[in-house]
Structure 1
Amino acid sequence: MRAKFKKSTKRSVKKERTLQFTLNVIGIFMFIGVLIRWWTVPFAVNNDLRIYYNPDFQMKLSECKEFLEFTLCAASVYFLLVNIYFLGKRGKKLVYIILVLLAVFNLYMMLTLLAVATH
């Protein structure tokens, strides 16, 4: 006599959602940490290991704007890719394709900047 058991799909969905939630929380803390840099950059440590304020390190308004734009774009890409990944097989394929395209684009940009810098 054999017993037939059905595999529970609820358990795997719960694990995937837990992983998705964990990756989203890690992303939130990661990008909050990057944004905190905005305020902590002007502080430095001297030879006596004392913290002091150095106004030369303060970002200008245009630099702050660019920094904020970069951080928000990077956060958008991160959260978009994390949440697309958990949509199913198509989502995973799409994320892998996007990551490969980003890697190729980054390599191209690196070589272009290297070529421009050496001429």
Structure 2
Amino acid sequence: MRANFKESTKRSVKKERTLQFTLNVIGIFMFMGILIRWWTVPFAVSNDLRIYYNPDFQMKPSECKEFLAFTLCASSVYFMLINVYFLSKTGRRLVCTVLVLLAVFNLYMMLTLLVAVTH
């Protein structure tokens, strides 16, 4: 007995969710949350758990520019590394190298700031 199976002509059109897609969505929510911080910083919670507006916490225009520059640079590095990682094996090596260099640079800056504060 021989079975004759035909390939189904109806394919699922549902888009497959990949790890790259998931990391990009997480990044979008993460950086949107950081940008929302810009407006939520002046609000604080008192001892009796009431929310109040504290104008002393409001960012100055120069601080806003620095905050936006940091956020845009960090998000561009994040999305660049995520998308380069999934290009090829060379991309994975490049991303791992960049992450190691960032970790070393962060440790160097931490120690530099620690020495500057203690002296």
TM bucket, shorter chain: 0.7 to 0.9
What is the match of residue 6 of structure 2?
none
CA RMSD of aligned residues (A): 1.4
User: Quick one: distance in 1 between partners of 2:56 and 2:30?
Assistant: 26
Q: Distance between the aligned counterparts of 1:64 and 1:93, measured in 2?
A: 35
**Secondary structure of 2:18 counterpart:** helix
Query: C-alpha separation between the residues in 2 aligned to 1:42 and 1:29?
Result: 21
Cα distance in 2 between the residues matched to 1:107 and 1:50: 39
Partner residue of 1:69? 69
Deviations along 1:70-110, whole A, 9 cap, x unmatched?
11111011000000000110000000000011111111111
1:6 — aligned with what?
none
Residue identity (%)? 81
Query: Are 1:109 and 2:82 matched, yes or no?
Result: no
2:83 is matched by which residue type in structure 1? N
Which residue of the partner structure matches residue 58 of structure 1?
A: 58
Q: CA deviation at 1:48?
A: 2.2
Q: How far apart, in 1, do the equivalents of 2:21 and 2:67 lie?
A: 27
2-structure distance, mates of 1:86, 1:71: 23
Structure 2 CA distance for aligned equivalents of residues 50 and 113 of structure 1: 36
**Partner SS state of residue 44, structure 1:** strand
Q: Distance in 2 between matches of 1:118 and 1:48?
A: 37
> Rg larger in 1 or in 2?
2
Q: How does 1:43-54 map to 2 (within 5 A)?
A: 43-54=43-54
C-alpha displacement at 1:112, in angstroms?
1.2
Q: How many residues align?
A: 105
- Give the structure-2-normalised TM-score: 0.83
Any unmatched runs of 5+ in structure 1? 1-13
Question: When the two structures are superposed, what TM-score results if normalisation uses the length of structure 1?
Answer: 0.83
AA aligned to 1:24 is N
Runs of 4+ displaced beyond 6 Å: none
Higher percent of residues as helix: 1
The whole-number CA distance in structure 2 between the counterparts of 1:89 and 1:29 is: 27
- State the SS of the aligned residue for 2:105: helix
